[in-house]
Chain A
């Protein structure tokens, strides 16, 4: 055989590794305001382009432009800014608390604050999120008490989850926040089931599924898409593409599909790609998808294009696999600064008020932390009882667990 070709395996690599110069020149960023805003009942076939572009509202000058602008008042935007600043301050304190040994573990949201904070404002009471471990903005923007989040992180005697869960794995049913699990992707298809249930009961509530770029490779991502597509479940399928899955760049999960949003096209889902660092754009797209779900038109897939500025977790050191300066080179900037600049631009905010608010927020978070620490931290003060350890495995404790509890002496 003269035409025989020796095969070789393709293993994608990020453009740059530590020591290299960050380069996002191959990430096309369309102009703000340049992407169309279809009707919510648009035929998915006619809006396929939206899976390959990026919906953006805020331009370089901090102006809100184009057809996706105008879903929020300046008061609502100020509230949104505050939520993002709260989340960032919360992250900073909890990161420090982990370094001080007050908890074993933490995961921050640095650079991704707009995604969960803005999305939350598109939901109504009764809707349910099925979040990953990096959407605490859903709680903050939903008014969940920060002290309770800290109690969970400290695993103290006021921990709503009785010390059973790793820090940041919150659960808050009344705030539309499903119990977080350590295994990736599982909640994506559960969200579809929740939405199917709402449809079965002819309810008006919708669900939101969340997954990261890396976890889209999990089988449950596929399961979620096929069930959502088949039953036209009232669910918003959110993919947060922060470019990194621990040390693995997004090209490993994405493969040759171009974008994560494009994955939805094969399932006949309207699939949108949005600037994840643009609070206004995130809200506008979320609102579009929520309306679509509420009107029983069906599910929507949204890819949020953002960047994981911080380490994956407190157990991770990103300098081992990506350039330290990469986050600064990220072309979509910082969500807090961009919204701040917009609010200043429209005369609703000022540098001075921003600084003042930063200080107020710091005080708020510090006060919450003091209160939480009064209930104990992981290694000191109050802690959940050993008896609690045996409770809640079942609704009613079976005999074998009673015997074990007795053996444990509690």
Chain B
């Protein structure tokens, strides 16, 4: 099986989808000739032509707005917003238009678009190249929100997203583009070449939306994570020796509640970790659901480790990012509770 980085896996997903379906079009800022600032669309314009993969004016609302119009026509646009931090000008089109088109028209029109956005921190991206705005999407009925944590999932989930008849927000942790990252920024960067999930089939396959996966089985505590934090949680479990069951949510909306509840009922403890800021972050929804569905099985309060409630700083990157030290301390505290 070929080995791919997450970038290559995403590119492969787009390639496979464009090959299989002429209605799939790919566009965004610098996506065409140049192949994307992260190389995710490299070679697609050469292979499929300028009307299937093209550059656009710098206007996020225009990107999403035209994609919605194309979907209304019957195409399946997979568009890119260069950084999730720059989705805000398109927020009106995403939340009021894409998310509601099927509902408000009673199925007269639908909106099968996929919006790819590089997300997350850990790259010295500062305030507008590091944000994790997933909670701003999970709060919107009509959207689906996906966050892959490895190349294999990235490809399968992206193909599923493109084939999905409704709008999908596809958040790509850019810290994971070239290799897994467990938060140990002081250690050498590793690549996907030596990671089992860097093995990616070259052809078509899908991973259904709405299904979480247990990355590390454990019995002491359930850790709910997605994106980069999956790797942080896995590493922390090994380093602390706490037998944590790490669940990679993969899809935040719709959420795989069954997998979460089964795990927490088994372990009796639950910790949520995410890069996004704490207050009203997606973790709050997870905590509420866990306490509602697992209340009588809980042996300790459900806890959250998240980014601080501040804009994402530059110089204080590693004081902000919830790395193994913070997650490890929280796990130890929880086991003593």
Contacts and interface: CB of A to CB of B under 8 A. Distances in A.
Contacts of B93: 186, 189, 220
Contact of B102 (A194, A198, A223, A392): A392
Given A171-B104, A393-B103, A197 B166 contact: no
Interface string A156-179: 000011101100010111000011
Given A179-B101, A186-B97, A394-B166, A162 B106 contact: yes
B104 A226 contact: no
A104 interface: no
A266 to B, nearest CB: 14
Contact of B106 (A128, A160, A199, A398): A160
B65 A398 contact: no
Nearest to B255: A400
A142 to B, nearest CB: 15
B107 A227 contact: no
Contacts of A178: 72, 109
Contacts of A165: 104
Given A189-B65, A398-B254, A392 B72 contact: no
Interface string B267-283: 00000000000000000
A288 B269 CA distance: 69
Contact of B166 (A130, A199, A226, A395): A395
B106 A200 contact: no
A171 B32 CA distance: 34
A192 B69 contact: yes
Nearest to B27: A196
Contacts of A207: 69
B135 interface: no
A313 interface: no
Taking each of A181, A182, A195, which has the highest tally of chain B beta carbons within 10 Å of its own beta carbon?
A: A181
Interface string A192-227: 111111111100000100000000000110111011
Interface string B103-118: 1111111100000000
A368 B44 CA distance: 54
B65 A190 contact: yes
A193 B51 CA distance: 13
Contact of A392 (B51, B103, B164, B253): B103
A192 B109 CA distance: 16
Contacts of B96: 181-183, 186
Contact of B108 (A171, A193, A199, A219): A171
Nearest to A403: B257
B257 A190 contact: no
Contacts of A256: none
Contacts of A409: none
Contact of A197 (B73, B109, B254): B73
Interface of B: 25, 51-52, 56-57, 59, 61-62, 65-70, 72-75, 89, 92-93, 96-97, 100-110, 141-142, 144, 164-166, 210, 253-255, 257-258
